[in-house]
Amino acid sequence: MGGTLRPGHRKLSRRGDIQQGLNRNKVHVLLKKTGSSSMGPRAKWRKSEIANLGNGKNANWDMEYYLVKWKGWPDSTNTWEPLQNLKCPLLLQQFSNDKHNYLSQVKKGKAITLNNNKALKPAIAEYIVKKAKQRIALQRWQDELNRRKNHTGMIFVENTVDLEGPPSDFYYINEYKPTPGISLVNEATFGCSCTDCFFEKCCPAEAGVLLAYNKNQQIKIPPGTPIYECNSRCQCGPDCPNRIVQKGTQYSLCIFRTSNGCGWGVKTLVKIKRMSFVMEYVGEVITSEEAERRGQLYDNKGITYLFDLDYESDEFTVDAARYGNVSHFVNHSCDPNLQVFNVFIDNLDTRLPRIALFSTRTINAGEELTFDYQMKGSGDISSDSIDYGPAKKRVRTVCKCGAVTCRGYLN
Ligand SMILES: C[S@@+](CC[C@H](N)C(=O)[O-])C[C@H]1O[C@@H](n2cnc3c(N)ncnc32)[C@H](O)[C@@H]1O
Ligand SMILES: [Zn+2]
Ligand SMILES: [Zn+2]
Ligand SMILES: [Zn+2]
């Protein structure tokens, strides 16, 4: 937010004043200030978080005051500002939305009851301050994700559902992270010398399979068939039609809080054509023995991040619980819009395919992305492709996918 703070603002910066303001039924705004240490009237406003702590109508005071939290300053330096000092319509709107959301939750019986008028205002205040802090934390996380990712599509984060903030033990990675003892070969042993990889005998043919893509960059091979893309040894350039997964996610995606109790989920912010590459599933690469060990330690939720690489052997598993990309947040559906494929690019070791998720149909902007946790690269439902640990310990998770064909459980 730009603009200059107008002269004549009041400064009530102590916690006691804040409480006093609350009791006097003021409207408060949490705002943040940029670098300068000056708290004077010419201080620049940039970003703010708004907390609506009352209805603003007051018998004793003729003006509405907003609590301002200055960026980079502790709460003890918060100040109260009259409405005319604020040049942040978006934040005021957010403030009003937060209050509205809170009150509608109250009405639905999710929060405190409306009868208890005395408790209501501090409760709204608390909610709005938490919401403001959550918004800052999610924005920081979104910035971090976008700094770390190395693909084209942007990553957004949104929670309009509850007060959950960023996950505490999750680290964004772009590619497999092998654990000690596992080596991922990063240079292929063979590369093509085609002048046109679409028409000539190219890398897929060398591996005994068909080229996976059509001219529109859509996958045309059936699930269960491996993808062999051109690699760093190939003579072709970046525009080769056989280089799709290696270019990374092209779509802007949003990690959002689901409203059906599935925690975080992922939705696309743009339309995705059918049979298009959407994202790769990455995580730590561990041995099956290690997966067995972790599977027993993890609760049922953690277990669903273990993805067995069972294309040709079952020696390795991808664990996306702590290290992963956006795919960490993709939920399960019994009628999914993404399908798993095994991909080989620079690593031609068939025990260690890369896992790519392709759309099975057109996916409209705003739709949640899902894949079938039990339908792995083979296209068949195989109960051993996901490691749930010893049978006696297995707790079945009820599936909330809502599909007509829902199987009832995730596992
Ligand atoms: C790979 S994670 C997906 C991201 C997860 N929702 C989160 O908040 O991090 C898998 C977990 O999400 C939840 N989940 C995913 N799909 C679900 C579904 N269809 N029904 C119920 N819970 C689901 C379960 O808690 C499951 O253990
Ligand atoms: Zn090529
Ligand atoms: Zn090639
Ligand atoms: Zn289901």
Closest CA to 202 of 187, 217, 192: 192
Amino acid occupying residue 34: T
Which atom of ligand 1 is nearest to 399's Cα? 20
CA separation, residue 45 to residues 72, 92, 252, 348 (Å): 12, 14, 29, 54
Q: Which residues are catalytic?
A: 281, 373
pLDDT at 179: 96
pLDDT at 46: 36
Place of tokens 């409207």: 27
pLDDT digits (tens, 9 = 90+) for 4-41: 232 233 333 333 333 333 333 334 455 444 433 333 33
- Residue 192 in marked binding region: yes
Closest CA to 329 of 254, 250, 400: 254
Q: Whose CA is nearest to atom 11 of ligand 1?
A: 301
Mean pLDDT, residues 101-105: 82
* Cα of 400 from ligand 1 centre, angstroms: 9
Give the binding-site residues of ligand 1, using a 6 Å CB cut-off.
262-265, 301, 304-305, 329, 331-333, 397, 399-401, 410
* Cα of 373 from ligand 4 centre, angstroms: 10
Q: Whose CA is nearest to atom 7 of ligand 1?
A: 264
287 SS3 class = strand
Q: Whose CA is nearest to atom 27 of ligand 1?
A: 301
Mean pLDDT, residues 231-244: 96
pLDDT digits (tens, 9 = 90+) for 300-318: 666 789 999 999 989 999 9
pLDDT digits (tens, 9 = 90+) for 58-71: 334 456 777 777 66
Average pLDDT, the chain: 80
Q: How far is residue 209's CA from residue 225's CA, in Å, rounded to a whole number?
A: 8
Print the SS3 string covering 166-200: CCCCCEECCCCEECCCCCCCCCCCCCCCCCCCCCC
- Residue 230 in marked binding region: yes
Residue 195's contacts (CB-CB under 8 Å, 6 or more residues apart) are none
Mutate-to-test residue for ligand 1 from 145, 326, 331, highest number of ligand atoms within 8 A of CB: 331
Q: Which ligand is nearest to the CA of 190?
A: 3
- Residue 399 in marked binding region: yes
Question: Residue 176 pLDDT more than 70?
Answer: yes
Which atom of ligand 1 is nearest to 167's Cα? 9
- 334 vs 71 pLDDT, higher one: 334
Q: Which ligand is nearest to the CA of 236?
A: 2
CA separation, residue 95 to residues 60, 76, 118, 396 (Å): 23, 21, 21, 41
* Per-domain residue ranges of the chain: 4-8+145-385, 14-135
- Residue 401 in marked binding region: yes
* Cα of 289 from ligand 4 centre, angstroms: 29
CB 162, CB 258: distance < 8 Å: no
CB 307, CB 294: distance < 8 Å: no
pLDDT digits (tens, 9 = 90+) for 244-291: 999 999 999 999 999 999 999 999 999 999 999 999 999 999 999 999
Quickly name the fold that domain 14-135 has.
Answer: OB fold (Dihydrolipoamide Acetyltransferase, E2P) (2.40.50)
Q: Whose CA is nearest to atom 4 of ligand 1?
A: 329
* Cα of 300 from ligand 4 centre, angstroms: 16
Which atom of ligand 1 is nearest to 400's Cα? 20
pLDDT digits (tens, 9 = 90+) for 194-205: 999 999 999 999
Question: Residue 391 pLDDT more than 60?
Answer: no
pLDDT digits (tens, 9 = 90+) for 196-230: 999 999 999 999 999 999 999 999 999 999 999 99
Q: Determine the length of the chain.
A: 411
The string of DSSP letters for 13-77 reads -SHHHHHHHHHTT-----EEE-S----STTPBEEEE-----S-S--SS-SS-EEEEPPTTS-GGG
Give phi and psi for 156, each to the nearest 5: -110, 160
- Residue 406 in marked binding region: yes
* Cα of 59 from ligand 1 centre, angstroms: 50
* The CATH number of the domain covering residues in 4-8+145-385: 2.170.270.10
Which atom of ligand 1 is nearest to 265's Cα? 6
Lowest mean pLDDT among 100-104, 121-125, 236-240, 377-381: 377-381
